[in-house]
Structure 1
Amino acid sequence: MFTSLYTRIGALALVVVLALASLAWLLSDAAHRTGSSFRWVIHSATIIETTDEALGDLREAESGQRGFVLTHDLAYARTFDERIKSAATNMARVVALTADNPVQHARTREIARLMAERTIALRRPLDLGRAGDFAGARTFVASGRGRELMDAITVRTQSFLDEERALQTVRVEAAERRLTRSKRLSLAGASIVAILLLLACTLLIRSIRRPLAAMMQAMTELGRGQKARIADGMGSREFTLLARGYNAMADRLEQAVVEQATSEQQLQIANTDLHSQGEALRERNEVIELLGGMAHRMQAARTDDELAQIIRVFVPRVLPGLGGALYAHNNSRNLLVPIAHWGGLTLNLDGFPPDECWALRRGRSHCVVEPGADIVCGHVCADALYHCEPLLAGGEVMGVLYLRGRVPAESRFRLTVLTENIASALVNHQLQRSLREQTIRDPLTGLFNRRYMEEALALEIPRSSRSGQPLSLVMCDVDHFKRFNDEFGHDAGDAVLQAVSAEMRNRFRDGDVVCRYGGEEFTIIAPGTDATALLSRVEQVRLAIAELNIRAGGQRLGATSMSFGIATWSNTMDCDGTSPIKAADAALYEAKRSGRNCAKVSLVEPQQAAA
């Protein structure tokens, strides 16, 4: 029945498991009872702590109320409502926690009722004080009603806490008794299980020692190179099968030793190839990681200088030892201008026409690796060794990458990925610039729109405040603009707006921000200029617009004039820009009332403008 080692182990394990299960059940029951006792102890501690917190919050609320009534300082009453709410919440929690104890539950409900009355009594002087009647508040406090309530609350709370502490003591003693019984039970059960385990281990060791020693001896002899085998009759079915398996393994091992010599040479060759491929893969992964970092930074670049800085930092790391430059088309696409250069290269900053580069002509790489080996581009010295790589994205030529020197064959992969990343970055950069212009420009006049005006004003006002330099604002509009739309149509109105916009853009300084505010209204932000100095420039613009001869649809539209209102920002005004806009708008309204076609300076005081 017990010829199998599994059967012997199973029988012994069953005995041990039954003993452990019995011990576990007994310990679990004891732990459950002990845990229940300790939970009641914690329950009492929670009730005591919460009651103390509720009483403390009520006293702090009373102290804040008295401090406010005596000192008239509202700071004492700021936490009153919070303390009252906390006291009520904690007391409500105590009432809920004592639901299992009818006597204590009745006491907590009485305390809660008294605390509610005390809260009403505390609020009355506080409301009188907030209304300014501090004499009435002191009279109410001096009446003594609040003190009587507080004393009653204190007495009942103390009685309640004494009873709860006594109950907690009884529960602690019961929990300790149960814990002691659990310890004794665990020690006795552990001793019994230990004896059973010791007996089981002794029987198993006797069944395993002899066959294991025979197997160890055979394995030792096999390790020394001897031909060792294990005989049958190992005392159990499992060890007998293991011995047969060992003998078969020893036979196959002898055969494998013979085949090992043949395979070692093949393995060495494969290992050499794998190492070479691993080095190439590691180098390529490093390049891809470096190019990935470069691509992320180029996609995040917002200005040409940022893009040039990224190119100067990363390209020498991708292609070490090669100086070069990056050229891109200008806005007219008639020249390739340098964006960035590195490696001590000296460039013609004026750029060169696209026809001078053979890489751009052919739409593919063009290089000269030996003097006289190929045609030299017009933008390169005659005896130079170089490589030109066109930058293509979406079928469009974005520029050219010029590298001075020979590009090694192993760097071709780097060059290909590098040019793809740079071309994509140039496309993204152009799209971002175009989208930026679309969001800040008025499509009809080409001036900045109102959104950009508000952003610029929000930047210029803090700058003027820090530097002390003046900042002026002009609000203007076209006089009788409705007449152009009514008599000649909306196309004529658009022509008038375009003409006056062009005149203002040409007449104001480069540092001034000329915006279309909306409709026929325009705004000019003039940093570093006060209203008096700006008035003469505005007069020149006004006279120039009055002399315009605007035509639309083959007919003359008649005289055109504009009215202007000028205001200067002051530190007493709001920093959000609304005050100078309102002041300039008021001056514009004054110009309209004065007959139009004139400029007025705001006479509104800064405080009035801020209001």
Structure 2
Amino acid sequence: MHGAIAPVWDTAPVGPSPELVLAQPPPPSPPSPSQPAAAPRFARLASRYRVYRLPAFLLAAALLAVVGLATVVGLRSFAESAEWVEHSYQVIAELESTLAATRTVESSARGYRLTDRPDLHAEYLSSIPAALSHSAQLIALTRDNPLQHRLARDIERRVRQRLAEIDRLLELHLRDPQQARLSSLTSNGAEQMRALTAVADNMREHERGLLASRDARTERNAALLTALVIGGLLLALSLLALLMLSLWQENRRSRALERESRQALAELEASAAERQRLTERHRSLSHYAGLLQSCQTLEEALDMTAHVIADLIPELGGRCYVLRASQNLAETAARFGREAIASADLLHPNDCWALRRGQVHRSQAHDGGVRCAHLERADPQRAHAGDDDPRWSLCVPLMAQNTSLGLLCLSGARPPREADLALVQSIAEQLSLAIVNLQLRETLRVQSLRDPLTGLFNRRYLEENLQRELLRCQRRHLPLSVLMLDVDHFKRFNDTHGHAAGDALLARIGQLLQELVRNEDIACRYGGEEFTIVLPEADAEAAAQRAERIRAAIAATTIVHLRQTFGPATCSIGLATSQGERDTPQQLLQSADAALYRAKAEGRDRVVDGNRSAAVASDARA
């Protein structure tokens, strides 16, 4: 599709457009004093959108209420997040205080043993309760988190062990200083302190991870709340603005309809035949709109449009153009009738005034100054003689939501009727919406089956087609193999080079798989860095050869990302082959997955046949 076009399902009008309805006269009836009753008919037509006003108002009120409720809930969520963040900082602070108090006890005791200063002994005695108090407070703060609570208890236990060791050395120093110095040399105090520090580092990193996740969740909730509030307010204000605009337009339309109703009374008899013809056209147009919504392909919709125009307006001829995806060329997709003024098979959008301006463009054959460049040039001899050429052309752009989709080009040999021009414009509107729907349907179909990063089929497509292919091979007594591929050390690659480089690597691997598989094979992205390849009618030997080629191709591949070359990467592949008619897709995938894990366990960058491994295990058990 061209550009970002929102879904427009069921938005195409199934009946005649308002322009055509207003163009047809009221039903014929003999003049009478009661004839002015035609005016209320126009009034009803002008105010047919009244029924939507109350729902629109209620919707706007509901949106404002939802915005207010979301704001309150968001503020409460922010307050809770702030409390948890403060809690994390308290845990980290108590952890640091515990370590600092323990080191203070250690340094005071060591200083006392070296100098025998009474003030250091007093400092030692006063530091012990602080260390125990901080460790106890750390346990109390982490009761909400089992992992951190377990680490906090471990820290308290190690603090008590260290304090006990320090106290033992100090008592020994008081009894025998020489023996205390010798004992301190063989003491495991340093190891105890390193173990305590290691546990504290682990707890600190985990708490910082919790803090980071809480900060990220807070930012995500803030962005969501901001988008919800802004979107709700804009939508509510838009609905209110549309309500005011509708009231203003209805007031203006009512005054205009009053004037038109007075003029319509004098035109009833003359417009009876014209009304009948327009009614038939409207019926055909409604039928066309219904069929258009049932079209499955763009070619089908364009062919049906060409037949409808040829049936409703046989005196016109022309063609339908469709813009290519690049928006730089429009090509003929369908023709109808006989063209009075020939048009080019291919045209550049700048060659057509309608595509340039996004509006309907009409021109006469003799008016060369405003004719489109893709139309046949007028006869210069006839123009020099002063003869007026009655031929005319009409270019109607096919547009939806300010996006150009194509062009409807018509021409005739006689001056056109305004009703015919309005009918052509209505058909163009219907066709534009149908083209958007068909293009969107095709895009959604491709997106539902393809992985957007690698271009391979997705897991849903695999689950739907593996069962069918397996049953087909089982009916014909043919083998079917499944390869499960996983990129080795992909998480380390992501952590080292970034997720963008990881995505580039996965995209390159997807491209390689598309190049290495057959047309009948099914290459899918199973999830993350895992890929699955279904090889119908391939036995274990052929599948193993194919897997080796894939492994070697990936191992020899490098990628260039942001002017840096990465790789090559390696992969591990598990292989499973259908052994009988009782095999199921789940069994094949599980067998291939188990073989993949064996390949990783055996050193990666290899292919493991799950069936062969299972046979070896069975022989070993026998």
> TM range, normalised to the smaller chain?
0.3 to 0.5
- Provide the TM-score with structure 2 as the length reference: 0.46
The structure whose RCO (Cα within 8 Å, separation 6+) is larger is: 2
Question: TM-score when scaled to structure 1?
Answer: 0.47
Rg larger in structure: 1
